[in-house]
Amino acid sequence: EVQLVESGGGLVQPGRSLRLSCAASGFTFDDYAMHWVRQAPGKGLEWVSGISWNSGSIGYADSVKGRFTISRDNAKNSLYLQMNSLRAEDTALYYCAKSSNSIMVTGYFDYWGQGTLVTVSS
């Protein structure tokens, strides 16, 4: 059974940093690209960042480019999101999602974690 478990969320002041983690199990982690998707309270889904199986291809939404960094450790079956210079508008539930393929292009999201909540407020 595929499982994705996010952690690392919490309350943080504007301008500070936070690192999210996603622990994966139930599939061969290094065969698939992975993504972060967020959902602000009461709002829709927004793709944040994605990374190919070997970290050779990485992409970011314009809203987070230059502030967030995605990475993965295939030996630990883990995905990460380093979030710097956080803003109030980054407040959201952050989901880890498994891609349907190994590369960045043309993959849909076939499994999702339950999310970790990030609240940016003073």
Residues at the contact surface with another protein, assessed by CB under 8 A = 35, 44-47, 50, 57, 59-61, 95, 100, 104-115
Between 29 and 60, whose beta carbon lies closer to another protein? 60
Q: Quote the least distance from Cβ 13 to another protein, whole Å.
A: 27
Q: Quote the least distance from Cβ 93 to another protein, whole Å.
A: 9
CB atoms within 10 A of CB 122: 9
- Parallel/antiparallel/unpaired status of strands 116-120 and 10-12: parallel
Between 106 and 122, whose beta carbon lies closer to another protein? 106
Secondary structure E strands in 1-108: 3-7, 10-12, 18-25, 34-39, 45-51, 58-60, 68-73, 78-83, 92-99
Between 3 and 17, whose beta carbon lies closer to another protein? 3
Tokens of 94: 């952050």
Between 11 and 105, whose beta carbon lies closer to another protein? 105
Q: Quote the least distance from Cβ 18 to another protein, whole Å.
A: 20
Coil, strand or helix at 76: helix
